[in-house]
Amino acid sequence: MTPGALAQAAIDLLDEIIEAAKAGGAAADTLIARYFKTRRYAGSKDRRAIRDLVYRAIRRAGNVPFSGRTALVGLAREDDAVAALFDGSVHAPAPIGPSELGSAAAALPDWLADRIAFEEHAALLERAQLDLRVNLSRTDRATMAALLDAVPTPHSPAGLRLPEGSPIETTEAWAQGLFEIQDEGSQLIALAAEAKPGMTVIDLCAGAGGKTLALSDEMRGQGRLIASDSNRARLSRLAPRAERMGGLAIETRLLDPGRERVALADLEDHCDVALVDAPCSGTGTWRRNPEARWRLTPARLSQLVELQARLFALAAMLVRPGGALVYAVCSLLPEEGRNQVDTFLARHPDFAADKLMFIAGREEGAGRLLTPAHDRTDGFFVARLRRA
């Protein structure tokens, strides 16, 4: 492909990504994969170049661009090499007009810019590193570090870190289930549960099961572990992952939104630990999914806050007397983190804040907040509560 054709391909992709963000459609990485699947003529170098242009344009635009061209013109105004791609040749975008506007550079959407600490803005635009969680029931971190040429993460005792894009899924250790891809922050959330062999533990919002697998590792396959979620497609991804990790015995329950209590009635007052990694704005993960900034709106945030409160209360129903409830969100916003816990504790006097087993991050109300700038993890809030 010619240099100009690469730029036009990036514009076409950005158009798709912008529309999907507005409509709640597929994520950018999914759209990019689909795009190249139908364009076999694009070689590996072409694909890398196009992807780089797309993500550079996404990362610099905190607000939703008017179009893919607007997004790339904004980047071209800052980079002469990109501007040169707008040469009007065959398959290339038309030249940029002298008064043509490009999207403005901004780290965050305007309505959120003052609600997240300024020191985090630049960190939320950086590329995230690749973190792994070593399956400690089958190997040890030092062995995996040497095998994969990785370095230990600073906070999780099971974590390893490599440069982004390291081809670890082609290794024999991956095939044998000796490690999982998991950000160190997510590993710490699972560790906050303090799951032990013989316990009854539920991962209420399990998704594809990354934290469920971490809990299983802590439990050494002994006890009862339940993974539940309302998203069938995501929950179905847990079984093959568990099989690769050694055929772990994990119960799964697909929940009907609004009727979760019926599906979980037999677990009322029975769980030693209930983990609620609640659906959230994902502001702490924007390093990995920068176009997610375009999806979040004030109305959507309000809906999420309401859902979090409902799931929080549902989890409380499942915890036995003396048991623990761990609440977490991958968010930097107080209304999703400390405020949720404060409200919950006011409504549930039989629960009280419990000490977390790690000291990473900073104290935030009854929990702790970890952030990309301060801790080099995805941003998240976590609190551990104990029922009397």
- 3 state SS of 275: strand
DSSP conformation letters of 104-139? PP-SS-GGGTTTS-HHHHTGGGSPPPEEEEE-TTTS
Is the pLDDT at 228 greater than 80? The verdict is yes
* Mean pLDDT value across residues 50-70: 96
Q: What is the pLDDT of residues 77-92, one digit of tens each?
A: 999 999 999 999 999 9
Go through the chain and tell me how many residues it has: 388
C-alpha to C-alpha distance for 68 and 255, rounded to whole angstroms:
38
Which sign does the torsion angle of CA 366, 369, 375, 378 carry? positive
Q: How confident is the model at residue 166 (pLDDT cuts 50, 70, 90)?
A: confident
Q: What is the pLDDT of residues 317-374, one digit of tens each?
A: 999 999 999 999 999 999 999 999 999 999 999 999 999 988 899 999 999 999 999 9
C-alpha to C-alpha distance for 252 and 237, rounded to whole angstroms:
11
Q: How confident is the model at residue 282 (pLDDT cuts 50, 70, 90)?
A: very high
**pLDDT at site 101:** 92
Only one residue has tokens 């039989």, namely 350
Kindly state the percentage of the chain with pLDDT values over 90: 86
Is the pLDDT at 248 greater than 80? The verdict is no
Q: Is there a contact between 160 and 131 (Cβ–Cβ < 8 Å)? A: yes
**pLDDT at site 127:** 87
**pLDDT at site 247:** 65
C-alpha to C-alpha distance for 59 and 50, rounded to whole angstroms:
14
* Mean pLDDT value across residues 275-290: 94
Cite the active site residues. Answer: 330
Q: What is the pLDDT of residues 291-308, one digit of tens each?
A: 999 999 999 999 999 999
Which H or E run includes 323? strand 319-329
- Joined together, the tokens standing for residue 292 give 């997610």
